Amino acid sequence: MELKYLVYKKEELEHGGHPDEDARRLFARVQRHGITVAEISEGSLREYFWAKQILPELSLVIASTEETLKEAEALLAAALGYQNPDFPDEPLGRVDYVAEGLEEVDVSFLERVYQRKHGIPWRILETKRCYLREMTLSDLPDLYRLYEGEGMTKYMEPLYEREEEEAYAKAYIRTMYRFYGYGMWLVKDRVTNELIGRAGFDHYIENDETLLEMGYAIAASRQRRGYATEVCEAMIAYAKEAAIGYDKLYCFVREGNAASRALLLRLGFSFQTRTVRDGKDMLRYVRPLL
């Protein structure tokens, strides 16, 4: 399932009766990606979808009024709230994503709004040999096989028993991914789609300070081939470019994990202090993101 239609009501994307120029430029970019732009000049969303035989679940609605957002919600269509100055008092709290303007909105952003609505995992970034994407519950069998591999849990915690892990994964997908837009992702081979590791960002609270932590683990069959370096370099670049609100990146490793310690130094991290985490002695490394 993918985004096929971008739908809006004419009056909701105008300012003082004139078309929004940023919207016009956005529509031109969207159409170049094969997405049909549909303008409704009168009537309801339901009437329009019915008349044009368009499936709402293949559409994203840009709306500036609560009424239109309610219509989209009832039809199970994805929606993006738009704060149009001509509708200053409209509550847009019925939608997960709101744009103050359309000049910064691009096709990738619209696709991610659509994917979030329909539970489609985001593909976060790509490297030369891998891609990183969000996990889903259907990935759990592959995750268990990954964690059963040689040495995978030597320096990190194993997965929970299946029922508990599934509950944890549901909550993680619903909260971490949805609220922050990042988290721990799957590392997959770009050619075979094989799951070869996990990597990403998480939060760790230490002495009342919330730290942005980078984590990574690569299957034994892919180690000593530069995969961890490739993935971590891409994540560091992502953390800088995405401006996710932190000026430092931390990593915690066990003293016996010589390979990870060497990797962190190559990546520009420096040793900061020893600490205890979950009852284990750890070394804390830090790297600036500015």
- Label residue 80 by pLDDT band (50, 70, 90): very high
Q: How far apart are CA 12 and CA 163, in angstroms?
A: 46
Q: How far apart are CA 73 and CA 41, in angstroms?
A: 20
The DSSP symbol for 175 reads I
Mean pLDDT of 33-45: 93
DSSP for 47-67, written as a single string: HHHHHHT--GGGEEEEESSHH
Pairing of strands 280-288, 59-63: unpaired
What would the two tokens of residue 94 be?
A: 């019925």
Would you say 232 and 263 are in contact if contact means Cβ atoms under 8 Å apart? yes
Q: Which domains does the chain have, with CATH numbers?
A: 5-117 (3.40.50.1000), 123-288 (3.40.630.30)
Residue 190 CA: distances (Å) to CA of 128, 157, 170, 216: 8, 27, 26, 18
Position 155 scores a pLDDT of 83
Mean confidence (pLDDT) of the chain: 92
Q: How far apart are CA 246 and CA 240, in angstroms?
A: 9
The DSSP symbol for 128 reads S
The DSSP symbol for 179 reads I
CA nearest neighbour of 251 among 266, 237, 234, 271: 271
User: Is pLDDT above 80 for 19?
Assistant: no
What would the two tokens of residue 93 be?
A: 């709290």
Mean pLDDT of 171-181: 90
Position 207 scores a pLDDT of 83
Would you say 62 and 80 are in contact if contact means Cβ atoms under 8 Å apart? yes
User: Is pLDDT above 80 for 109?
Assistant: yes
* pTM of the entire predicted model: 0.87
Mean pLDDT of 35-53: 93
CA nearest neighbour of 227 among 248, 192, 198: 198
CA nearest neighbour of 84 among 8, 198, 27, 161: 8
What would the two tokens of residue 274 be?
A: 């020893």
State the amino acid at position 8 in one-letter form: Y
User: Is pLDDT above 80 for 149?
Assistant: yes
User: Is pLDDT above 90 for 79?
Assistant: yes
* pLDDT (tens digit per residue) in 228-260: 999 999 999 999 887 788 999 999 999 889 999
Residue 211 CA: distances (Å) to CA of 185, 250, 287: 18, 7, 12
Residue 197 CA: distances (Å) to CA of 31, 152, 222: 36, 9, 9
